[in-house]
């Protein structure tokens, strides 16, 4: 009778099939449940066909572990009620253009945590089974993950960028994120996030104009006229901030200006202003959060180029 190999051993076939669903990573509990012994796991790792991740997971190859595999390993390391959380959960839900250094996992307060430098495993009083996203790898819902990821971000800039990416990429609507944010009662970044979500909702346009006008005064720059009615051959339209004597327009853009239905209208309006001889600068509300100095420096440079001179000069 021919000797059975690992390729036709039904236990190992089952392990490999499970691994294909989990980024080639399985838990020790899963492996043992399929009938593979501890000694066989040790033999596969000694033969360098498998590798261990922490003390709870096995990778079914000896190469670089995939991002998906690392996420599963983090969950296995954290216990049965673990959920990917924050930015790690968002990336698992499809967020692009955002890098996570270590997989973040949340577990209920008081549970036993097997610490490892490989993963960021945290007990949290905010843990709730109701926050679990339906289907797929265990992770928090997008709105929950967006709020927590922003609260846990290293800087205000990163927090703003993360929430904005979630909305821009269509993973969640800003009003849903806003509802989730109302659950947060105490956090130093809470008010900032309320402002960001308000910007994303498009409800902060007038507030943005007031903020800009106030900052222009503080910097000793001339006051603009606000919401001036202009007309081209086809339409009436308003511009946000206008200096008629300098032929300078500043348009304050919420996130809706980056959406497809707004791009054409914005371009036509800007072209009409340019043909009348006006310089048009665009100031995204996100820019006020992330790079205010750069945008105000451009406004001042445009004023100087148009002939304005500071009385303090």
Q: What is the pLDDT of residues 78-135, one digit of tens each?
A: 999 999 999 999 999 999 989 999 999 999 998 988 889 999 999 998 899 999 999 9
For residue 252, the domain's CATH number is 3.40.960.10
Residues 58 and 77 in one domain: no
Average pLDDT over residues 54-76: 97
Q: Is the dihedral of CA 74, 75, 77, 81 positive or negative?
A: positive
Proportion of the chain above pLDDT 70, given as a percent: 83
Q: Which range has the top average pLDDT, 58-62, 177-181, 268-272?
A: 58-62
Residues 190 and 114 in one domain: yes
Which of these three, 139, 167, 200, is where a domain ends? 200
Average pLDDT over residues 138-160: 95
Helices 205-218 and 292-305, packing angle to 10 deg: 70
**pTM greater than 0.75 (yes/no):** no
Report the domain count for the chain. 3
Distance of CA 160 to the CA centre of its chain: 8
Structural domain includes residue 244: yes
Residues 171 and 70 in one domain: yes
Q: Within a 10 A sphere around the Cβ of 253, how many other Cβ atoms?
A: 19
Q: Within a 10 A sphere around the Cβ of 87, how many other Cβ atoms?
A: 26
Beta-bridge partners for 228: 239
Helices 156-168 and 174-181, packing angle to 10 deg: 140
pLDDT digits (tens, 9 = 90+) for 180-230: 999 998 899 998 898 888 777 764 444 566 678 778 888 999 888 765 666
Structural domain includes residue 312: no
Q: In 206-231, which positions are buried (b, 16+ CB within 10 angstroms) versus exposed (e)?
A: eebbebbbeebeeeebeebeeeeebe
Please report which confidence band the pLDDT of residue 143 belongs to, taking 50, 70 and 90 as the band edges: very high
Contact yes or no for 119/103 (Cβ under 8 A): yes
Residues 124 and 43 in one domain: no
Cα–Cα distance between 207 and 40 in angstroms, integer?
Answer: 65
Structural domain includes residue 133: yes
Q: Tell me which residue range forms the domain holding 53.
A: 10-62
Residues 76 and 129 in one domain: yes
Q: What is the mean pLDDT of the chain?
A: 86
Which of these three, 152, 181, 200, is where a domain ends? 200
Residue 107's pLDDT is: 96
> Burial, 181: exposed, middle or buried (Cβ in 10 Å; 0-12, 13-18, 19+)?
buried
Structural domain includes residue 1: no
Beta-bridge partners for 243: 248
Q: Which two tokens stand for residue 159?
A: 């927090």
Statement: residue 259 has pLDDT above 50: no
Contact yes or no for 89/68 (Cβ under 8 A): no
Residues 70 and 186 in one domain: yes
Which of these three, 32, 47, 62, is where a domain ends? 62
């Amino acid at each position: 009778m021919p000797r059975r190999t690992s390729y036709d051993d039904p236990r190992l076939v089952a392990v490999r099939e499970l691994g294909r669903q989990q980024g080639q990573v399985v838990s020790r509990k899963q492996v043992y449940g399929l009938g593979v012994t501890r000694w066989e796991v040790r033999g596969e790792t000694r033969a360098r066909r498998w590798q261990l991740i922490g003390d709870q997971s096995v990778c079914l190859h000896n190469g670089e572990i995939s991002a998906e595999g690392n996420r599963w390993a983090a969950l296995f390391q954290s216990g049965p009620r673990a959920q990917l959380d924050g930015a790690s959960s968002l990336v698992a839900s499809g967020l692009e253009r955002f890098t996570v250094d270590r997989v973040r996992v949340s577990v209920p307060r008081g549970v036993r945590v097997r610490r490892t430098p490989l993963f960021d495993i945290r007990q949290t009083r905010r843990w709730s089974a109701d926050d679990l996203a339906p289907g797929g790898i265990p992770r928090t819902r997008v709105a929950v993950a967006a709020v927590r990821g922003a609260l846990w971000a290293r800087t205000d800039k990163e927090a703003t960028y993360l929430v904005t990416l979630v909305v821009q990429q269509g993973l969640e609507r800003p009003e849903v994120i806003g509802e989730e944010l109302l659950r947060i009662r105490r956090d130093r970044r809470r008010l900032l996030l309320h402002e960001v979500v308000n910007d994303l909702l498009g409800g902060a346009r007038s507030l943005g104009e007031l903020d800009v006008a106030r900052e222009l005064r503080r910097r000793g720059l001339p006051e603009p006229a606000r919401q001036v009615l202009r007309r081209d051959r086809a339409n009436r339209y308003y511009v946000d901030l206008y200096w008629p004597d300098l032929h300078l327009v500043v348009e304050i853009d919420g996130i809706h200006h980056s959406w497809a239905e707004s791009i054409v209208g914005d371009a036509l309006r800007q072209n009409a202003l340019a043909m009348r001889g006006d310089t048009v600068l665009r100031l995204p509300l996100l820019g006020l959060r992330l790079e205010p100095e750069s945008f105000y420096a451009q406004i001042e440079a445009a004023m100087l180029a148009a002939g304005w001179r500071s009385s303090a000069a």
